[in-house]
Amino acid sequence: MLGLILLFGITILFVTGLLSYAAYNPDLARINDETPDKGLLGFYLFSWPTSPYWLYRLTQGVHVTLGIVLIPVLLAKLWSVIPKLFEWPPARSLSHGLERLSLLLLVGGAGFEFVTGILNIQLHYIFPGSFYVLHYYGAWVFMGAFVVHVTFRLRRALRAVRPRGTSPVPQETLGLVSPNPAAPTISRRGALGLVGLGSAALLVVTVGQSVGGWFRKTAVLAPHGQEPGSGPNGFQINKTAASVGIRASDIGPAWRLSVRNGSRQAILTQQQLLALPQFESALPIQCVEGWSTTDQLWSGVRLIDLAALVGLGTNPPKVLIESAQRGGAFSSAVLRDNQVRDGRSLLALQVNGATLSQDHGYPARIMVPGAPGVHNTKWVTRLSFGEQA
């Protein structure tokens, strides 16, 4: 029962995790790729689409929320097989020994993935290295062992949930039944109910940060369960201006946007940008950490119009976006041509009818439908079309 829930749940976690990696367009540019040594493990990558614009919001919300909700199921599964840890002799045969070695990768991999994920969404970076490296390669180690385990155990798991009477399960042969049981204090159904209650409790205090709107209040223990403020700019912030070293002089009257295409260049002030045709896009912000906002109404200059300023027609190439922020993995990013050409992709100057706040990227930020939050670069200073990075 627990095994079958984990089979479905972890499969969804793996698929949504792989999608999240693809959403960064890592094969487009070195600076987009947090795991450039991936080799064959990037075999499945594809161009991340801009439609539906809520795709990443959905997949990443599911990835993080489902991962949290599965924790009691995983713990209960480990609890239910504890006698196996003390199996003697440790290896009855070569096949049994190899299988137990594989179990170390299975259990270690599961714990490693859940622990790094839980710590990362709380910004508690105590793990030994880059989160992306640990979580991505750890997932592949884990999934290899997971496939082996499912192949060897699926038939047994299915037999265990079949209605009784059709095929009696010889539980004793599995070595998990105590030869000398204590008086029962809870029924089997009660124990499963307790696991379900744990999952439900975690869901209730978490999911609101991904649903947003009124429901955010319900996410009382999730990192993004509060609103940072009120008004047009009062929605969730991933990194404030102060936390990434933005100084007043970086975004003051001296701020300029430079748009380049090879040797052609246009330099624009904020007033000049506001004088260009303004377009509106209703887009959410969705973070790799699983939280997201409802749609915000952004307005600004379309990326295709900025490309046209430097002589690029209706089919502009990819673009390198650079920010005034100091350091950090995402101070620059490359957007793919399909993202540049989408009419909803903006260099946003306003949100919900007001000028952008400093923490939301004043004077100008990128908004691309469906892109992970960190690719909606804030405090933009330069767009370089067609550039290798």
From 44, 90, 94, 271, residue interacting with another protein (rule: CB under 8 A) = 94
From 1, 4, 62, 115, residue interacting with another protein (rule: CB under 8 A) = 115
Q: Phi and psi (nearest 5°) for 81?
A: -110, 15
Q: How many residues does the chain have?
A: 389
- The first and second tokens of residue 44, run together, are 């499945």
By CB under 8 A, residue 100 contacts another protein: no
Backbone CA torsion sign across 173, 176, 182, 187: negative
**Identity (one letter) of the amino acid at 64?**
V
Place of tokens 């439609």: 51
Please list every residue from 181 through 220 that binds another protein, using CB under 8 A. Answer: 183-186, 190, 194, 197-198, 201-202, 205, 220
Looking at beta carbons only, is 122 or 272 nearer to another protein? Answer: 122
Looking at beta carbons only, is 184 or 353 nearer to another protein? Answer: 184
By CB under 8 A, residue 354 contacts another protein: no
By CB under 8 A, residue 105 contacts another protein: yes
By CB under 8 A, residue 128 contacts another protein: yes
- The first and second tokens of residue 347, run together, are 């260099």
Looking at beta carbons only, is 11 or 122 nearer to another protein? Answer: 122
Cβ 313 vs Cβ 368: under 8 Å: no
Looking at beta carbons only, is 19 or 287 nearer to another protein? Answer: 287
- The first and second tokens of residue 315, run together, are 């089919």
Nearest-approach distance from CB 44 to another protein, in angstroms:
14
Question: What SS3 state is found at 84?
Answer: helix
Question: What SS3 state is found at 354?
Answer: strand
Please list every residue from 356 through 375 that binds another protein, using CB under 8 A. Answer: 359
3-state secondary structure 1-21: CHHHHHHHHHHHHHHHHHHHH
Nearest-approach distance from CB 353 to another protein, in angstroms:
21
Nearest-approach distance from CB 118 to another protein, in angstroms:
6
**Among the residue ranges 233-241, 261-269, 319-327, 366-374, the one whose residues contact another protein (CB under 8 A):** 233-241
C-alpha distances (whole Å) from 12 to each of 17, 159, 236 are 8, 23, 26
By CB under 8 A, residue 228 contacts another protein: yes
Q: What letter would DSSP give residue 286?
A: B
By CB under 8 A, residue 118 contacts another protein: yes
CA 239 to chain CA centroid, nearest Å:
16
Looking at beta carbons only, is 242 or 275 nearer to another protein? Answer: 242
**Among the residue ranges 50-58, 72-80, 159-167, 262-270, the one whose residues contact another protein (CB under 8 A):** 72-80
**Among the residue ranges 25-33, 77-85, 298-306, 310-318, the one whose residues contact another protein (CB under 8 A):** 77-85
C-alpha distances (whole Å) from 55 to each of 51, 281, 334 are 7, 16, 19
